[in-house]
Amino acid sequence: MSKRQRTIQFDPVVIGILTGVLIVLGILGLVIYGLWIFANGMEHGKLAVWAIVATFIVPLVFLAGFWFGKTEVRGFLAGVDAGLDRLAQAVNMRDSSRITVHTATRTPRQPPTPTAYNVILPGGLPQGYIPQITHRQLTDDDVLDL
């Protein structure tokens, strides 16, 4: 082996999670042990009453959990809906600002310029009239297929 010693380093998050799990398991074990001591000290009749009461409370706890869960889901969905509304507003604002910037910075359309080579057919036009033949100017948003 080399002169360097091997050291094993654990991630502090993993150590924290393992410590939390051990603490929770310890508390749960103490609670169960306390209930066991409590149950061993009771008479049979009192223990039966506790079992019957616990049996009737279980459905009520289930219904209460179901009701709270529905309430939380409604709140969560309302939050998602509000977030999507804000997102839609942001997208609309972005699009409208893009349109505004594009119209403000777009170069105005140039009037067509006459060409230097006009062809006039004899007898087609009145004497002295020279038509201006112009070519269409391309703008920024025109698509030119080659």
Q: Give the chain's length.
A: 146
Indicate if the pLDDT at residue 121 is higher than 80: no
Q: What is the pLDDT of residue 9?
A: 81
**Residue 78 CB contacts under 8 Å (≥ 6 apart), including other chains:** none
Q: What is the pLDDT of residue 113?
A: 63
Label residue 47 exposed, middle or buried (CB < 10 Å: 0-12, 13-18, 19+).
Answer: middle
H-type helices in the chain, by residue range? 12-40, 44-105
Provide the whole-model pTM. 0.38
Q: What is the pLDDT of residue 106?
A: 75
Q: What is the pLDDT of residue 30?
A: 97
Q: Decide which of 120 and 138 is more confident.
A: 138
Q: Is the dihedral of CA 73, 75, 80, 85 positive or negative?
A: positive
pLDDT one-digit tens code per residue, 67-103? 999 999 999 999 989 998 899 898 888 888 887 887 7
Question: Predicted confidence band at 27 (pLDDT cuts at 50, 70, 90)?
Answer: very high
Which residue type occupies 139? Answer: T
Distance CA 118, CA 130 (A): 8
Question: Predicted confidence band at 35 (pLDDT cuts at 50, 70, 90)?
Answer: confident
CB 119 within 8 A of CB 86: no
Distances (CA, A) of 15 to 6, 23, 24, 29, 121: 19, 12, 14, 21, 96
* Structure letter (DSSP) for residue 127: T
Q: What is the pLDDT of residue 12?
A: 87
Q: What is the pLDDT of residue 40?
A: 87
